[in-house]
Structure 1
C-alpha cells in the first residue's frame, strides 16, 4: 500500500510528466480560462487512468501471451484515440456545466497519455502500480495546468517588459516551475 501511495505521489509531483518529462506541454500553453483548464485536467486525468490501465492489461494479457510486444504502440495509440470521444461524452453528462466541447484535439495531441502507457509497459510492477502511476500522472498534469493558468492570469495584471510578454514569460515560468518541482526529488528516499 505504501508503494502505491509513493508511486502516486511521485508521478504527481516529483516525476511530473509535464515538467520532468516534457510530455503534454502543448495543452499547457494553449488552454485558457479557469473552467476550461479544470475540464481539460479532469478529462486528461480520466483518459490517462483508463488508457494506462487498459494498455497495461492489453499488454500483459494479449500482447505478451502472443509474443507481440513489438506491436505495443500500434495497439496503444488507437486505444487512446478511440476512447477520447466516449470519455468526453460521459464527462459532459456527469458535469454538464463544464466546457468539455473542443477538448478533443487537445487530448488527441497530448503525448502524456501515450507516455503513461509506455512507462507502465516498461516498469511492469503490477496492475496496482500501473493504476497508481496513471492516476498520479493525470493528477500531476491537472495540478500543473491549474498552477500555470493561475500564473498566466497573474502575468496579465502585472507590468512585464514588452519582449517577455506572451509566450516568452510562459516558457520561463514553466522552466521555473520545473525547477521548483525538482526540489521535491530528495523528499522521498527509496
Structure 2
C-alpha cells in the first residue's frame, strides 16, 4: 500500500491504537518532530538501541533519574566534562577504584578524611605537609622539618575531620508486569460453556 498526502493529515483516535509490523519500520521526518505524552511511556527493546545525534542533546528531568545496568558502562568523551551537584553526592564501589590523571589534580574541601587499613603515599620528587609556617618535607635527599617548635612529649591528639554518613543505595527494580506473550487455552469455542482464558 502506498499513500501520498500533499498537505496536512490529522488522525484522531478515540481510544487505543495498536500496530503490528512484521518487518522493518522506517520513519523519515524532514523538519521538526514533536511528541507529547501526558502519562507514562515505556519502550521494550529486546536487542540493541542506538541513538546518533549530530548536534546537541538536552535532557531535562524535573524529578528523579534511576539507571540500572546489568553489564558494563563505557563513556568516551573527547573534550571537557562539567558536572555541578547542589546537594550531596554518594559513590559506592563494590571492588577496586583507580583514578589516572595525566596533569594536575586539585581537591578543595572544608575538611578531608581518609580512612583505610593501610595508606601509602608515594612520590618521585617529594611530599610536603604544610600548616602555617611549619613544613615537613620528604624527598629523595632526606627528611626536612621546618618548625618554630618541636615537642615530642605533647599530649596533642591531632585534628579531626567531619564524617560523612554512609547511605544505602538499593537496587532499582522494575515494578510493572511486562506482557511478553499471550497464549489462549482454546482457539475455537465448541459450546457456550467454554471460556477463553490466557
Q: What TM-score, normalized by structure 1, do the two folds share? A: 0.16
Q: Which has the higher strand share?
A: 2
Q: Which of structures 1 and 2 has the larger relative contact order (alpha carbons within 8 angstroms, sep 6+)?
A: 1
Q: What TM-score, normalized by structure 2, do the two folds share? A: 0.15
Q: Which has the higher helix share?
A: 1
Larger radius of gyration: 2
